A and B are shown apart, each in its own frame.
Chain A
Amino acid sequence: MSTVANPAIKDRFTPKSFGEGVVRYAVIIALAGVFAFFSFATSTFLTSANLASILVNNFTLLAIIAVAMTFAVSAGGIDLSVGTAVDFASFAFVSLVLSGHSVGLAVIAALASGAIVGLVNALLIAGVGITPFLATLGTLFIGRSAQQLLTNGGNPVYLPQTGIPPLFGFIGHGHILGIPVPLVIVGLLIIAASTLLFSTRFGRVVLAIGVQQSVARYSGLRISGHIGLVYVISGFVAALAGIILTSTVSVYIPNSGNAFMLNAIGATFIGTTLSREGRPNVPGTVLGVLLLSIVANGLLLTGLSFYWQQVGTGLLIFIVLAASFLNRSSRSD
C-alpha cells in the first residue's frame, strides 16, 4: 500500500531494448528528424547561409540563457528571472556606453548587473528561504516594474549611429578567425559551464543538492552558500546574452529578455532526457537549444505564421518531455 508511485521502479542503466533506446536518445532522434524534414520541405533550409543564420540568430542567445537556467535546475530549483538579468545587463551596457565610458567598463558593469539580479534571488532563496519558483518570479515582477520606471514607461534606449566605439559592435558582429564572436563566446561558455558542473567539486555539490538536499546537508555540505552561488552564476551568465543582444541590435528594449525564459526552461528539460538519471546537463541543454533553434528557423522558412511557430515549438517540447516521462515511469525492462 503506497501513496505515491514507487520510485524504485525506475531502473535504467544502459538502454536495453530498442524502445528504451529511442526514448533515451529522443533529442538526437528528434534533431535528425526535424533536420531531414526541413531539408526536404523547404528549398532554403539546407544552405550554408541558412545554417549559419540558425547558429547566429536562433541559437546563440537562447543557448546562453538556457545554460544559465541549467545551473538553477541542477541545484533543484528554477530561475524565472533569467530574462531580467538579460535586460539589466543590456540596460547597464547601453547606459554606460551612451555616457561615454569604455566598452570594457560597460561589459563589466553589465555582467555585474546580471550577477546582482542573481544575488537578489540568492538572498531570497538561500537567505530568506523562499522557494526558487516564487523568489525568481518575484524578481521577474520587480525587475519588470523597475525597467518601466527607468525608461519612462518602457521606452527603448537607442544608441546613435556614430560616435560609438567600434569594439561595441564587434561583440555582436565581429569575427575571430572567421568565427562570429557570439559563437566564440557561446563555445567558451559551454566548455566552462559543463566543466564546472561536471568535473569540479562545486558541480558535484550542486548535483547532490539538486538530487536530495537533506542528504547533502547531512553530509556536511554547505547548502545555502552553494545554492546562492548558483543563482549568482545564473544571473551572470544570462548577462552575457544581454551584452551580445545589445551589441547586435544597438538598442536596449525594456523587458525583452523574458521572451527567452520559457524556451530556456524547455531546452533544459529536453536536455535532461539525455542523461541516464534524468539530470540537467549542459550538453543536453545545448542539444535542446539546437533542436528548438532548427524548428524555429525551419517553421519560419515554411512561411507559417508566428503563432503557428509558437505552437510548433510548444508541441515539440511537449513530445520530448512526454517521451522522457514515459521512460522514467516505465516499468522495469
Chain B
Amino acid sequence: MSSATETGNLALALRQLVKHFNGVQALSGATLEVERGTVHGLIGQNGAGKSTLIKILAGLYQPDEGTIEIDGVTHERLTAHDVEKLGIHFIHQDRLLVPSFTVGEALFLGREPRLAGLPFLDRRAIRRQAEKILDKYFGLKLPANALISELTTAQKQIVQITRALLDKPSILVFDEPTAALVRREADILFDLIRRLRADGITIIYISHYLNEIEALCDRATILRNGKDVSTVDPRTTSAAKIASLMVARDIEEMFPKTAATIGKPALTTNALTKAGKFRNVSLNMREGEIVGLTGLLGSGAKDLVRVLFGLEAADSGEIVIEGENGRPRSPAAAVARRLALVPEDRRGDGVALGLSVAENTTLASLKRFTRFGFLQSNREHSEVDRLIEQLAIKTNGRFAPVRTLSGGNQQKVALAKWLSRQSSLYILDEPTVGVDIGSKVEIYNLIGKLAERGAAILVLSSDLPELVGITDRILVLYRGVVTREFISSETTPDAILAEATGALDLRSGEHRNVV
C-alpha cells in the first residue's frame, strides 16, 4: 500500500472519487495519484470503474464526491474543454471518429491548416501532413484520403493516437489501447510510449494485459469494485500477485483444458479464394474442435472470416457447412446454417449500444421466442436472465441499455447472443478483447464447454499465448496464404509469431497494409 512520494511531484491526483449511475455504484472512493513523467498503469476487473475514473478526469462525468488536482491546482468542476486546455488528452476505450471523414479530416478536425491565412481548407496540405505524421509515429502508410469507415479497428485507433499527439499533450491517457492492435502494432505503441515518457510526458495506461503493465509501467494502481486497493511497482510485483489483488481470489489455471470428442466435419473449405485478399484456403474443422487462426493485419484472416460469414463474396472455391455445400451469400444465410460471429468491432457490429441487454441477447434468436409472430417476453426474459448469470454479466438488470455496461461486459453480451441462438459453428474474432483475467478464464471455460457439446470453434486472436492455450491447432495466414498449421500443444507463441510475420521478411521492416 504505497502512495506517491511528495505532493509537489504529482502531475495528477484524483482523491476519494465517488460516482453513482442510477443506483449503480461505479466508484466508491477511488484514489489515483500519478507522478510527473511516469507511466502509470490502471488495472482492474471489468466494471471495476477504470473507464469511469478516466471519464471523470476527462470532464465527461462529474463526480458525486471527491477532488481533482492537476499540477497542484484543485479543480471544482472540469469540463472537457478545460481538460484539453490543461494538456490532458485521451484515447478512449470507445473509439469515436466520424466514419464519413477521411483520415486527414479526422486528424485535423478543429485545427485545419489554412491556405496562407485564407479561410479555406488546404486539402493537399492536410493530406501531406497526415501522411508525414502517421509515418513518423507509426511507420505506417495510411492513405490520408481513405474514409474512416474503411479502416480496420487498429487503423482507426492509430489515427486517434496520432490525433492526440498532434496537440503535444502533457498527460496522455490510454484506455485499453492495445485491445485492438496486433502484436506488431502493439510493439510500435510501446516504443512510442517509452519515447513519450523520455520527453517528459506523463502517461496513464489502462490494460487487462499484465505483461504490458509489467513491461511498460513505473507504477500501477489496482481498482476493485470502484475503490483503489493497492498501488504497486509492477516490475517487482508478480503478475500472480497483481491478478489476485484484482479479483480477490487466486486464478488457478489460466487455460483450462477440456476433453471434447472430435466428431463429424463441421466446416470445410476447398481452395477458397478472394482476389487480393487470400488464395486457396483449405480449412477442415470438425465438431468439438477449437481451431486458431492468426496473421498480421492484411494477412487475409479478417477477410476470410467475412467470407465465411457471408459478409463478402469469395471469387472461387467451396464452403461446406455441416455437409451442406454452398457459400453463404449473406449473414442471414450463414446464421440460418447455425454459424455465429463475434466480430472484432464490438461497438460497431457486435452489440447495439442503444438496445437493452435483453434485446441484444435475443437478437439472433428471436424465432425461439416467437409464436404466431408475437414475442413471448416471459420466455425471452428467463433465457436472458439465465445467460446474464451464466456469463456473470455485470449489469443493472436485463433492461439496462448495453451502452451503460463496461467494455468487457459488452463483449459478454456479444457472446451471449450466439449462445441464445444455440449455434453450432462459432467464429470468435478477438473474443477476449477488453475482458479482465477472471472473465477471460470464464470465457475460455465456456469455449471449452461449447466444444464438449459438439460445437466447432474458430478463434482469431492476436493474443498468441491465449491462442496457443485454448486451441487444438492453429493456422497461420501470411499474405493471404495458409503457410503453416501448428498443433497447439507442441508449439509456442514465438514460433507462431515468427511464422505470422514471415520469418524472412521480419528484418526487412517492410509492413504493408491493405486498406
Contact = CB atoms under 8 A, between A and B. Distances in A.
Interface of A: 1-4, 6-14, 16, 199-202, 204-205, 207-208, 211-212, 214-222, 277, 331-333
Nearest to B364: A219
B3 interface: no
Interface of B: 20-22, 55, 60-62, 64, 84, 89-92, 94, 96-98, 101, 106, 109, 160, 163-164, 167, 309, 311, 330-332, 334-336, 341, 343, 348-355, 359-360, 363-364, 366-367, 370, 373-375, 396, 400-401, 403-404, 417
Contacts of B309: 218
Contacts of A221: 332, 363-364
22 contacts: A2-B92, A3-B97, A6-B55, A6-B92, A6-B94, A6-B96, A8-B55, A8-B60, A9-B60, A11-B21, A13-B400, A14-B22, A199-B374, A200-B374, A204-B359, A204-B366, A207-B359, A217-B349, A219-B331, A220-B331, A331-B60, A332-B62
Contacts of B366: 201, 204-205
Given A6-B60, A215-B350, A331-B62, A200 B167 contact: no
B331 A217 contact: yes
Contacts of A202: 373
Contacts of B370: 200-201
B21 to A, nearest CB: 5
B355 A212 contact: yes
A228 to B, nearest CB: 14
A54 B160 CA distance: 55
A207 B84 CA distance: 37
Contacts of B404: 8, 11
Contacts of A14: 22
Nearest to A10: B403
B163 A222 contact: no
B96 A4 contact: yes
B363 A208 contact: yes
B224 to A, nearest CB: 22
A204 B335 CA distance: 18
Contact of A13 (B22, B349, B351): B22
A207 B101 CA distance: 27
Contacts of B98: 3-4
Contacts of A16: 22
Contacts of B350: 215, 218
Contacts of B61: 9, 331-332
Contacts of A218: 309, 311, 331, 341, 343, 349-350
A212 B96 contact: no
Given A6-B60, A6-B92, A11-B404, A214 B348 contact: yes
Contacts, number: 129
B335 A219 contact: yes
A212 B22 contact: no
Contacts of B359: 204, 207-208
Contact of B109 (A3, A9, A13, A217): A3
A259 B97 CA distance: 39
A308 B331 CA distance: 53
Contacts of A220: 331-332, 334-336, 364
B276 to A, nearest CB: 23
A45 B374 CA distance: 42
A212 B374 contact: no
Given A1-B160, A333-B20, A333-B22, A7 B363 contact: no
B401 A277 contact: yes
Closest 7 CB pairs of A and B: A220-B335, A212-B352, A219-B364, A215-B352, A1-B164, A2-B96, A211-B354
Contacts of B400: 13
A216 B330 CA distance: 12
Contacts of A9: 60-61
A222 B331 CA distance: 9
A199 B101 CA distance: 38
Given A4-B97, A7-B353, A220-B331, 7 more contacts: A199-B374, A212-B354, A215-B360, A220-B332, A220-B335, A220-B364, A333-B22
A209 B400 CA distance: 19
A219 B352 CA distance: 10
Nearest to A6: B60
Q: Which of B60, B163, B354, B375 has the most CB of A within 10 A?
A: B354
Contacts of B109: 3
A200 B375 contact: yes
A200 B369 CA distance: 10
A16 to B, nearest CB: 6
A218 B330 CA distance: 9
Contacts of A204: 359, 363, 366, 375
Contacts of B330: 222
Contact of A208 (B55, B352, B403): B352
A133 to B, nearest CB: 15
A245 B22 CA distance: 47
A211 B363 contact: no
A3 B91 CA distance: 11
A174 to B, nearest CB: 32
Q: Which of A16, A214, A215, A221 has the most CB of B within 10 A?
A: A215
A119 to B, nearest CB: 22
A303 B350 CA distance: 56
A332 B26 CA distance: 12
A207 B355 contact: yes
A281 to B, nearest CB: 14
Contacts of B84: 1
B21 A333 contact: yes
